[in-house]
Structure 1
Amino acid sequence: MKKAFIFDMNGTMIDDMAYHLEGWFNILNDDLGAGMTREAVKREMYGKNQELLIRIFGKNRFTEAEMDALSMEKERKYQQAYLPHLRLIPGLDTFLEAAEKEGILMGIGTAAIPFNVDFALDNLQIRHYFKSIITANDVATSKPNPEVFLKAAEELGVDPANCIVFEDAPKGVEAAANAGMKAVVLTTMHTAEEFIGFDNILTFVPDYTTLSTSGLFR
């Protein structure tokens, strides 16, 4: 019976959400005059960049081209700020090696655009671990819709019930639940209290240093 791990990326594989928050906070307030607190921006940081802009400003504020340009501006600023700090969350390198040796298939299901996925995977030289990489460009609807995780499971050839999702955000855990998948939560950006009500969570961890690959499927 094939088993799989499906990883969200930002905040789950790399601890970079503070840099995304700062990037959005500056663009939304300094460039677009949204007048939002950091906490308010944090609550909107899920799904595709265009979806975030529509949630905050409505459907008619920007054209598709304008939203694409704002998205790329934000991501370039994020990458410039985060590159000196780019590293895997502690223990993930060992965890990936162990999963590969045990024959656990691995994929990525993220709301990040390919520009950011390539930035992380290629700089960290870990692309070879993942047999499926589903990005924002590959889905019609973002988390909590389960499409991103179901597509990854399909590409991996693994039944959703035999997939474990690694997430850092409530919307991601909700997407996993909607896909019929269990989840491991990384508490890099959200506290355990913010996940009350979900019954698909196996465990909360600050990083991967104490996590056993095989033990998660028991």
Structure 2
Amino acid sequence: MIQPKAFLFDLNGTMIDDMFYHGQAWYEVLTQDVKASFTRAEVDKQMYGKNEEVLNRLFGAGYFTPGRVQELSFEKEKRYQAAYKPHLQLINGLGSFLRKAQESHIAMAIGTAAITFNVDFTVDNLDIRRYFDVIVSADDVTTSKPHPETFLKCADLLKVPYEECVVFEDAPKGVEAALNAGMKAVVITTMHPAHEFAAYPNVLACVKDYTDPVLEKLFVA
């Protein structure tokens, strides 16, 4: 392990285990509102990046007007929040991990493809905003992961060198974004098993949750 100066967290699937609810919301909007004939598996496969990018991958760029993209995106997020709110909680051990990081004077940021509307839903309902000096959402970047822009912007705003940041991610494209940013990564295996990250040389560890004792090594001076 390394002794990092900053922790950069993805949100969905990394801080909260909510990806099933995102997939269900997209599936309902696409099959009920748009009347498309996608299977749930087809929707889940494309469920990463910005909402506009999801729609472009499924239907082709330009299929929907910008106004319609916004309407569908907002409807999806409303359904997601309504379904997930009764289950909203941090992944096991993360609350204690955040407190320890703060006590250890490790800077923290959220770098996510979620829109601000969903970031606020999570951090305010869970009362964790105080831990994060920086939040970079889909609304703050031009290019989604695996492009490194999200994590580079987090580090720049924290004023921490890229190589002294550790990224927490649940998806291969997020780990690839960390690699492209010159950062190490810890994988939370909520959605993808550890073997799917075997090709990434920047992975420090793959853990089920934040209670794994291997994470203690991040705090060793």
TM tier relative to shorter chain: over 0.9
Deviation at 1:191, TM superposition (A): 1.3
Q: Residue type matched to 1:42 in 2?
A: D
The alignment of Structure 1 onto Structure 2 pairs a total of residues equal to 218
Deviation at 1:2, TM superposition (A): 6.9
Matches within 5 A, 1:73-84: 73-84=75-86
Name the counterpart of 2:153. Answer: 151
Deviations 1:154-211 (A, max 9, x none): 0001001000000011110110000011111111111112223111111111110124
Deviation at 1:213, TM superposition (A): 5.1
Name the counterpart of 2:165. Answer: 163
**1:7–1:107 CA contact under 8 A, matched in 2:** yes
**2:104–2:219 CA contact under 8 A, matched in 1:** no
Structure 1 stretches of 5 or more lacking a match?
none
CA RMSD of aligned residues (A): 1.5
Deviation at 1:55, TM superposition (A): 1.1
Name the counterpart of 1:16. Answer: 18
Deviations 1:123-167 (A, max 9, x none): 000001001100000000000000000000000010010000000
Structure 2 stretches of 5 or more lacking a match?
none
Distance 2:134 2:144 in 1: 17
**TM-score under structure 2 length normalisation:** 0.94
**Percent identical:** 57
Name the counterpart of 2:116. Answer: 114
Name the counterpart of 1:85. Answer: 87
Distance 1:207 1:83 in 2: 20
Distance 2:108 2:145 in 1: 19
Name the counterpart of 1:34. Answer: 36
Q: Residue type matched to 1:94 in 2?
A: S
Q: Residue type matched to 1:209 in 2?
A: T
**TM-score under structure 1 length normalisation:** 0.95
Deviation at 1:43, TM superposition (A): 1.6
Distance 2:204 2:180 in 1: 15
Deviation at 1:214, TM superposition (A): 5.3
